[in-house]
Amino acid sequence: MNFSFSAMAATAALIIFPTVGLTNEIHTPTGPVVLTIKGNISKTNVGDAMELDYSMLSSLPSVSFETSTIWTEGVSEFTGIPLAALLDYVDADGHTIKAYAINDYAVQLPIEGLTESYPIVAFQKDNEEMTVRSKGPLWIVYPFDSSADLQTETVYARSIWQLNKLEILD
């Protein structure tokens, strides 16, 4: 049970790049921001960060899978964007992701450990938006039931809910 409560001080980027993408048009959030991505990223929309609202997030290519969790009852279907794809979207360059929760809980994930399909940054549970009361609005979820390897403490610790911020570190 090695939970890392790292300091929340983020490494702020000093240079602001114009939000010009080659392939994707960069939008700015219109609704409430649900996820802020900071750190070593090439693609930004607000200052040195990429801020995403619910509609922006849900418009990205998403995946779904069913699994039970040790914190919820029964099997649920989770829908979200694979973390790896999200990092590609923001042109992340680094080895570690530091994920923050609304209550300032934070956990580090090595980028190396990510796969194409999981973990996902889930924004829907059983096709419904998740509220803060139901561990929303975002939740990093692994398909726990698919493999015993995903039923370890490390994985459970990385499954951070009430996610609202990602920071890409070297």
Q: How far is the CB of 152 from another protein (least distance, A)?
A: 6
Contact 93/168 with Cβ under 8 angstroms?
yes
Q: Which is nearer to another protein, 12 or 75 (CB)?
A: 75
Q: How far is the CB of 116 from another protein (least distance, A)?
A: 25
Q: Which is nearer to another protein, 41 or 106 (CB)?
A: 106
Contact 110/95 with Cβ under 8 angstroms?
yes
Q: Which residues here bind another protein, judged by CB under 8 A? A: 1, 3, 70-73, 102-103, 105, 131-135, 148, 151-153, 156-157, 161-162
Q: How far apart are CA 145 and CA 97, in angstroms?
A: 24
The pair of structure tokens assigned to 2 is 């090695």
Q: How far apart are CA 121 and CA 141, in angstroms?
A: 7
Contact 80/128 with Cβ under 8 angstroms?
no
Q: Which is nearer to another protein, 73 or 170 (CB)?
A: 73
Q: How far apart are CA 99 and CA 21, in angstroms?
A: 25
Q: Which is nearer to another protein, 65 or 161 (CB)?
A: 161
